[in-house]
Structure 1
Amino acid sequence: MIGEPVQIAYGVDDVRAAAARWVTRGVGPFFVLDHIELRNVRLGGAPATFDHSSAYGQWGSLMVELICQHDRQAEPFVHPHGIHHVAHMVDNFAAEHAELIASGRSEALYAETATGMPFAMHDARLELGHHIEIYEGNERLRGFYEMVRTASKKWDGADPIRTLSPLKP
């Protein structure tokens, strides 16, 4: 297996409204990225777009992502209810990506962030009920995870939903 999960993601209709509901449960603060810029996107192996926004918060030792797809296609990738994916940081993206495909977990989504970091979601819905997301744990990504975790430890309930600027290469 690819190691312990670092994030659980839920499909939602609206990331800010969903974050506000999670805040009432004591989870937060949430950091929102709107219309996340991606390049080299493939959905089901075909070139595509994937316009989505996400809110990130900390729930104990696990990051929570609330994800909303804006570009609803005939068959949307993100359904607005339930667990969408569980994410794992891996040491070697290419090797893990190939291994997941070889083990029968097809590539549902492949994309690269604006900073050039590849990530993929593999279909494990029949086995686990959700997708598996993988990405390499680089310094920038680990810093983001640490920022969210640290903010949750110091959080006094103020400013529960914070908008982040888009990532720059």
Structure 2
Amino acid sequence: MALPIRQIAYFVPDVRASARAHCAAFGSGPYYVADNIPLVRAVHRGVERQLDHSSAYGQWGEVMIEFCQQNNPGPSAFHDLYAEGSDREGLHHVALFVDDLDAAIARFAEQGHDVALDAEMTDGFRYVFVDAVARYGHMLELYEPMPSLTGFYETVRKTAGDFSKGVTIDIAFG
């Protein structure tokens, strides 16, 4: 079963600054920025935790780029790779569409990859970060391709290279 990469995501201290820098260096974007993405549930390594994060999404050739920042202190799948208070940043995860999220979680668990984050947004959209760091050097983000998600991917893809509204466009989820 082929699972093509749909998105490459980087953990950064400032999603807007990173989006502008990536745009300047590689011509990616424009970027759609969502601040304080609302979650109804975030379970980090089996423990329900607060997770306040922001993301910038843009197109870079055939793949979506995401820049993520964590806005609150505390343990998280982001801080599993980039320690809180550290100035380190870099590749955090690649995203994959799966037909059945629970079945995919089970398949990766059989390969020794635990779920680092199981989260649900206010619209019912669920995603997980599978810890594949030991094997691949990064997390895997898994989610089912529901219409609101694939529609967002299509919007980002269609606006690639159109900077008439600027490098970043603020959006709201939830």
Question: What TM-score comes out, normalization by structure 2 length?
Answer: 0.90
1:39 corresponding residue in structure 2: 40
Name which of 144, 149, 161 aligns with 2:168: 161
Per-residue displacement from partner, 1:24-82 (whole Å, max 9, x unpaired)? 02111000000000122100111111110000000100000000011121572462511
What are the within-5 Å matches in structure 2 for residues 74-113 of structure 1? Answer: 76-77=79-80, 79=82, 80-113=88-121
Q: Is the 8 A contact 1:67 1:78 kept in 2?
A: no
Paired letter, 2:136: L
For 2:85, the equivalent position in structure 1 comes to none
Give the structure 2 partner of residue 28 of structure 1. 29
Q: What corresponds to 1:139 in structure 2?
A: 147
Question: Which residue of structure 2 aligns with residue 50 of structure 1?
Answer: 51
Q: Which amino acid aligns with 2:68?
A: I
Q: RMSD of the TM alignment (CA)?
A: 1.6
- State the alpha-carbon separation in 2 of the partners of residues 78 and 38 from structure 1: 21
In 2, the alpha carbon distance for the partners of 1:166 and 1:78 equals 25
Extract unaligned runs of 5+ from structure 2: 83-87
Q: Give the structure 2 partner of residue 7 of structure 1.
A: 7
Match of 1:62 in 2: 63
TM-aligned CA distance change 1:22 to 1:157, over 3 Å: farther
One-letter code of the match for 1:120?
A: V
Alignment: residue pair count: 166
Residues of 1 paired with 2:81 and 2:149: CA distance?
Answer: 22
Gaps in structure 1 of 5+ consecutive residues? none
**Equivalent residues of 1:68, 1:78 under 8 A apart:** no
Residue 54 of structure 1 aligns with an amino acid whose one-letter code is S
With the length of structure 1 as denominator, give the TM-score of the two structures.
0.92
Q: Shift of the alpha carbon at 1:158?
A: 4.7
Work out the CA distance in 2 between the residues paired with 1:118 and 1:73: 21
Q: Which moved more, 1:70-79 or 1:140-149?
A: 70-79
Which SS does the other structure have where 2:113 is aligned? coil
Instruction: Give the Å deviation of 1:118.
Output: 1.1
Give the stretch that moved more between structures: 100-109 or 75-84.
75-84
In 1, Cα distance between the equivalents of 2:155 and 2:81? 26
Task: Quote the Cα distance in structure 2 between the aligned partners of 1:156 and 1:32.
Answer: 14
